[in-house]
Amino acid sequence: MKKNLGLLALTGVIALASCSQGTTSGPTTHKLTINLNGPASADFDVTKTGGATDTVTVSGTFSKSYANGAYTVTPKAAPGFDTPSGQSADLNTADQALSFTYVKTNGPVITPPVVTPAAIKSISLVSLKDDTNALLPTKTEVNANKVATLFASQTEENVCAVVKVLDVNGNPLANANVTAESTGPDAYNVTISSCSSTVTTQATGGQKAPIVTDAQGFAKIRFFATYGNVNSNNNGDPIKFIINAESGGSSVAAPLELKGFFLNMSHLYVTEVGQDTRKAPNRIGSDVGTYNNIFVTPNTIPNDTNPTNAAIFNVQVYDKQPQTNLHNPQDFGGYVVYTLSGQDAARVHFVLTGAEDSISADGRTYTDRNPGSGIRIEPNADVTQAQVGAKPLQVDLKASYVFQAIFGNTTYDFPLKDITFHKKYTTGFLSINKSVDNHVLTWAGPDVTLAPTGTLPEPFLATYTITTKNQSTTDAVYNATVADQLPAELGVVVGSISNGGTYDAAKHAITWNYTGTPALQTIEANGTRTFTFQVFARQKPGYKFQSTAQSAGFTVQPYNGVANLPYSDPYPVTDGTQINDTTVSYFPQSGSFANQVVTDYDPTADESTINVVRPIYRLSKTLASGQQLNLVQGASANYVLNFSQRDRTTSGAPEDVLYPALFQKYPNEFSGAGQVAGQDVPRQNPYGYNVSLNDTFQTELDFTNATPITVTNAVPNTLTNPNITSPRSFNVTFPAGGANSATQYISWAPIGIFNGKDTASAAVQLTLSQLTNVNGGNRYINCAYLSSSNLNQPFTRSVEYLGSAANANLGTWYPTQNINAIWQPEVDGPNSTFGVLRTTVPGGNTAVQNGLESCAPVFDVKPLAPRLTLTTKGEYTDNNSAIIDANKKDGYSISTFGGNFYYKVDSQNTGGVATPVTLTFNLDDTTVVQFPAGGSYKLYRSTDGTTFVDTGLTAVRSAGGDQITFNNVTVPQNGFVRAVLAGDPNTKVGNTNMTTTEDYLGQQLQVLENTTTNP
């Protein structure tokens, strides 16, 4: 007796759910319904506790979904009616409906009219369909006592039953409640819900599931079996479904009865003995392509193991859960029917392989009842090699699995699954294979979806090799064409296409044609032709594919759709998975363009698969070891800047969950270790691209020194491309040669390629030259920034995924979706952030504040004694004592300036009062610049560094205009004095120094300002 593995007879326990098959943590929104009695319409305020107010207009009934929370609904006045009181609604756990009745002023309550529900005449089955909208097989039960419909399906596959409800007049009945229940002795899990996207009403806990009919009287009910049992025969009872309809207390007289068999079975797989196994992606209607063989004249090859050119095929299935090995569908009960068709069906024949099998009288149908025997076809005896050489022999085969169930005394046959494939015989036969040199590739950025063509440096490229070989040992083939329809996720380097191949931008395809590649005009017996090209990863892992005009006409579209679903991180992309996306076509006879043969490449493993990855960086700026956090004025702070990539293969972070398995499969692609024979060239994925480091600091901090960035790597390797060398050095590019307080930033040379295991560091020294005030404890901000073409971090609170900003704090990691911008508000690490809102650095350079940020402030110490510092603020076009930096000017044209400019110099006292102080200003060369006679020379005093008051002191100007002196100056406690001095460009082009000398109690401070004039 044949075993029936996986027959499901399910009844009893019903878990009612929505059509989504994923596990969720509960809805984040609920529906609020407002019913209005009285006026035709009225306005209401819907206010969330602690949140915003939404004003809505209600006419009759109004419904809207709101984020979970507590709400107050307040009615507004309606002309001619008294306004009712407000009500509260709790939308945290369930939908809420509120009713408001407006009473006419001095009038009665207005109530809606009573509608009498229509009586029900009947409920009938319209269709039963699967996930692909294909009809499921059904049979009418042989039963004199009732009318019931039997059907067959499989576990973990949606079954959508469409029913229609009519009223007593035979018209479609809208708004009727349709319920479904299951009965039977077996208690296996099944869910019942609506399969309409517009219907959400459900019940839970094994009760009826009310589903409302639409305007045409239709209701759609979903059955989803979650588990199958294993029986030794076909006599288990099916699951019984009773479907009823009710409207206003009136129920249908004869409920609808369905009975379903659910098999724990996958879709079909087909294998030709000696060739590959192919899977049907759908239950029915799948075409898995052509199996090719070389036809050899019988008895012409010594020791020929297949003298009749026979082809043997087996159709098999997996258990759905748990999956074990492939086995015969007959084990589930039933048989497989093979039908033969096509242009050459009369030139081949079936060969009987099993005692229980049969062949139809016309020879076109084979019924396989013997598990494991498969089917065998052979070309007829009168088929010759010359005939096949002139025109290939090709037939079509369709295998249909018929599930057979015994219920009562009746046997029912259900044609449940099928798979179509083809068999082709040729003489000269070109095979086609494809491989890629690296199976892991880093997305280089910056766009979410890059252009379809372009150029990138190594290691952001992978090389595909296509090889076509004439498998015949005797016959040549002619005028071949090799074509590759590239996946939309991969871009192509057009200049890398070898051997005269051309790129079709509209189809995103590469073609090598015999007209442009002479080597394809004749491919001799055993001849081989090889073609190569380079690709790069277009699509950013974890994000949605962005719609681009270039991608619209591609033959192979994005497998996640355009702006549909985010790609996984990492994600695989295989060149060659679709039928006829990578092919070689040719003609069997020289000079003839008849009977073209096409061979389709079908991947057998991962030989043409690329896995796309992306880096996650870490940046930290910290005080150097032993450095004090609190500084006195004039002291220096030393910092260490470190950055590297997070090891996504070992981090254990939720966004990195797929990386360990990828590392186990391709360790050399991540480790950069020495190359192993037969494996990919070593690399250190993921790679950073054009990585830049910048640093900016507060105005009171001055640049003192910075070291080059030193990049080290624990696994240097000259086999990689590019080579991994260690150490590498990247110099400071700004400032060059000293501090520049007007720009307040440091930049280093960019790192073009940043290997996955690189670690980088640099040191920075800053000096606290000024104090914000003299109270002590002031904070001085300085921050480092890391940017890159492919800088991106995990997003812990995705507003798009969670539906609203209000719910963002409820989320865990999910890929940011559908965003084109380079910089996103993302977070990584305890001491660094990556976001749009940057830390405010007073006086810092905002232009360098891009990418990953890490800040390390210092604090000042309150001075205990008077302390003077002297600072030149530069040259300006104005003499406003309170303006610093805004009108600063570094060079002056004698011919065009047309007036004085002004020097501004500060003396700051971080302690007690200093008096008397003498300030002297000397110009080295008055032929370049002089202090003009009658010029403005002012000395101002300030206690806060913001508000300056004229001291009234008179400046002493030398006769030669080369010196200005202020005597008996008092620098206030914890205050400033600021000199604003007119300067006049003279006739000589060149530069001069203005030296400021501050004398206090015999101790002098000096500061130098250099001025340049030009024609």
Name residue 714's amino acid. A
Higher pLDDT, 95 or 513: 513
The pLDDT confidence band at residue 994, using thresholds 50, 70 and 90, is very high
The region of weakest confidence among 235-249, 319-333, 915-929 is 235-249
Q: Is the C-alpha dihedral spanning 622, 627, 628, 632 positive or negative?
A: negative
Nearest to 997 by CA among 979, 1015, 1011, 983: 979
- Rounded distance between C-alpha atoms, residue 12 and residue 203, angstroms: 15
Question: What is the C-alpha R_g of the chain?
Answer: 41
User: Do 284 and 250 fall within a single domain?
Assistant: no
Q: What is the pLDDT of residue 188?
A: 54
pLDDT of residue 637: 94
Once rounded to an integer, what is the mean pLDDT over residues 894-898? 49
Q: What's the rounded Cα separation, in Å, for the pair 269 and 418? A: 10
pLDDT band at 804 (very low <50, low <70, confident <90, very high): very low
Is 197 a residue whose pLDDT tops 80?
no
Instruction: For residue 848, report the phi and psi dihedrals to the nearest 5 degrees.
Output: -95, 0
Confidence bin at 676 (pLDDT 50/70/90): low
Residue 742 structure tokens: 């007007």
Q: How far apart are CA 731 and CA 712, in angstroms?
A: 15
DSSP line for 244-296: EEEETTEE-SS-EEEEEEEE-B---EEEETTS-EEE-SSSS-EEEEEEEEE--
pLDDT-derived band at 168, boundaries 50, 70, 90: confident
Could you give the CA distance from residue 442 to residue 541 in angstroms, rounded to a whole number? 9
- 815 band by pLDDT with thresholds 50, 70 and 90: very low
**Both tokens of residue 113?**
């009219």
Q: Indicate if 408 and 448 belong to the same structural domain.
A: no
What are the tens digits of pLDDT across the range 313-370?
Answer: 999 999 888 888 888 998 888 999 999 999 899 999 999 998 899 999 999 999 999 8
Residue 823 lies in a domain: no
pLDDT at 235: 46
In a domain? residue 815: no
Q: Do 900 and 935 meet the contact criterion of CB atoms below 8 Å apart?
A: yes
Asked if 433 and 467 count as a contact pair (C-beta separation under 8 A), the reply is yes
Q: How far is CA 587 from the centre of its chain?
A: 44
> Residues 214-226, buried b or exposed e (16+ Cβ, 10 A)?
eeebbbbbbbbbb
> Which of 263, 282, 315 marks a domain boundary?
263
Cis peptide before 727 (omega within 30 of 0): yes
> 846, exposed or middle or buried, with CB in 10 Å at 0-12, 13-18, 19+?
exposed
Please check whether residues 643 and 727 belong to one and the same domain.
yes
Are the CB atoms for 145 and 298 separated by under 8 Å? no
Domain-located, residue 825: no
Q: How many CB atoms lie within 10 A of CB 150?
A: 21
The CATH number of the domain holding residue 64 is 2.60.40.10
Q: Note if the bond before 172 is cis, omega within 30 degrees.
A: no
246-253: average pLDDT: 80
Largest Cα span, the chain: 131
Amino acid at 384: T
Residues of the chain with pLDDT > 70, as a percent, come to: 85
Give the Cα separation of 6 and 499 in Å (integer).
54
The mean pLDDT value for 843-863 works out to: 84
Q: Would the pLDDT of 261 be above 80?
A: yes
Q: Could you please report the per-residue DSSP string of 534-546?
A: EEEE-BPTTSPBP
Check if the beta carbon of residue 853 is closer than 8 Å to that of residue 834.
Answer: yes
Can you tell me the mean pLDDT for 253-277?
90
| 517 three-state secondary structure | coil
Residues 216 and 309 grouped into a single domain: no
Final residue belonging to a domain, choices 833, 860, 887: 860
Query: Does residue 722 have a cis bond before it (omega within 30 degrees)?
Result: yes
Q: Average of pLDDT values for 960-966?
A: 94
A 10 A CB-CB count for 428 gives 25
In this predicted model, what pLDDT tens digit does every residue of 571-614 receive, in sequence order? 999 999 888 899 999 988 788 887 788 888 989 889 999 999 99
Report strand pairing: 758-768 vs 701-706: antiparallel
User: What are the Cα distances from residue 659, in Å, to 448, 569, 724?
Assistant: 20, 8, 22
User: The tokens of 173 are what?
Assistant: 């009945």
- pLDDT-based confidence at residue 727 (cuts at 50, 70, 90): very high
- Find the mean pLDDT for residues 166-191: 80
pLDDT confidence of 379, banded at 50, 70, 90?
Answer: very high
Query: H or E stretch including 394?
Result: strand 393-407
Statement to judge: residues 381 and 482 lie in one domain: no
Top pLDDT among 787 and 689 is at: 689
Region of 930 (left: φ > 0; alpha: ψ -120 to 50; beta: rest) is beta
pLDDT number for residue 682:
86
Report the 10 Å Cβ neighbour count for 147. 10
pLDDT of 186: 53
Strands 138-140 and 190-194: unpaired
Within 10 angstroms of residue 342's Cβ, the number of other Cβ atoms is 16
C-beta of residue 798 within 8 angstroms of C-beta of residue 999: no
Identify the CA nearest to 491 among candidates 558, 435, 433, 437: 558
Residues 548 and 464 in one domain: yes
Closest by alpha carbon to 997, among 909, 920, 937, 908?
Answer: 920
CB 918 within 8 A of CB 877: no
Of 490-499, 504-513, 860-869, give the lowest mean pLDDT range: 860-869
Question: Within 13 Å of residue 393, how many CA atoms lie on the same side as its CB?
Answer: 27
Choice among 114-118, 382-386, 455-459, 907-911 with the minimum mean pLDDT = 114-118
Q: What is the DSSP string of 56-117?
A: EEESSEEEEEEESSEEEEEE---TTEEPPPPEEEE-SSS-EEEEEEPEETTSPBP-PPPPPP
Task: Return the bridge partners of 269, or none.
Answer: 279, 316
CATH number for the domain that contains residue 921: 2.60.40.1290
pTM of the model: 0.57
Q: Single out the residue of 120, 210, 125, 184 nearest to residue 160, CA to CA.
A: 125
3-class secondary-structure state, position 446: coil
Q: Which of 329-343, 675-689, 761-775 has the lowest mean pLDDT?
A: 675-689
Q: Write down the number of H helices and E strands in the chain.
A: 4, 74
Are residues 674 and 694 located together in one domain of the fold?
yes
Mark whether 198 and 95 lie in a shared domain. Answer: no
- 590 burial via Cβ count (<10 Å: 0-12, 13-18, 19+): exposed
Task: Report helix, strand or coil for 215.
Answer: coil
pLDDT value of position 422: 94
Helix, strand, coil % in the chain, rounded to nearest 5? 5, 45, 50
Residue 804 lies in a domain: no
Average pLDDT, the chain: 83
Token pair belonging to 599: 């061979």
Rounded to 5 degrees, φ, ψ at 660 are -60, -45
User: Residue 357's pLDDT is what?
Assistant: 93
Q: Is the pLDDT of residue 402 over 80?
A: yes
Beta strand 509-513 pairing with 502-504: antiparallel
125-150 tens-digit pLDDT: 999 999 889 999 999 999 999 899 99
Kindly indicate the confidence band of residue 207, based on its pLDDT and cuts at 50, 70 and 90. Answer: very low
Q: Domain limits at 776?
A: 617-734+741-797+841-860
Instruction: Provide the percentage of residues in the chain whose pLDDT is more than 90.
Output: 43
Closest CA to 832 of 854, 802, 865: 854
Helix (H) or strand (E) holding 179: strand 177-183
What pLDDT score does 191 carry? Answer: 80
| 627 & 601 share domain | no
Tell me, what CATH number does 451's domain have? Answer: 2.60.40
- When divided into structural domains, the chain yields a total of 6
Let me know if residue 365 belongs to a domain: yes
Is 52 within a domain?
yes
pLDDT of residue 898: 55
Q: And the tokens for 627?
A: 């450095």
Kind of pairing, strands 688-697 and 782-787? Answer: antiparallel
Residue 726 covered by a domain: yes
User: Which residues, in sequence order, are CB contacts of 382 under 8 Å at separation 6+?
Assistant: none
Cβ burial 232-243 (10 Å sphere, 16+ → b, else e) = eebebebbbbeb
414: how many CB neighbours lie within 10 A of its CB? 22
* Token output for 396: 């079509």
Q: Do residues 282 and 322 both lie within one domain?
A: yes
Residue 418 has pLDDT above 90, yes or no: yes
Lowest-confidence region among 71-75, 278-282, 297-301, 928-932? 297-301
- d(CA 225, CA 29) in angstroms, rounded, equals 28
- Are residues 503 and 608 both part of a single domain? yes
DSSP helix/strand/coil, 945: coil
Q: Mark which of 219, 247, 263 sits at the end of a domain.
A: 263
For residue 433, the cross-strand partners are 467
- 770: which 2 tokens? 């000024």
Q: What is the pLDDT at residue 26?
A: 60
Classify residue 843 by burial, with Cβ atoms within 10 Å: 0-12, 13-18, 19+: middle
Residue 595, CA atoms < 13 Å, CB-side half-sphere: 23
Q: What is the pLDDT of residue 816?
A: 37
**DSSP helix/strand/coil, 846:** helix
Residue 224 and residue 274 in one domain: no
The pLDDT tens digits for 746-764 are: 999 999 999 999 999 999 9
What is the reported pLDDT for 189? 62
pLDDT over 60 at 807, yes or no: no
Q: Could you tell me which residue, 104 or 503, shows the higher pLDDT? A: 503
109 is a domain residue: no
Does residue 894 carry a pLDDT above 60? no
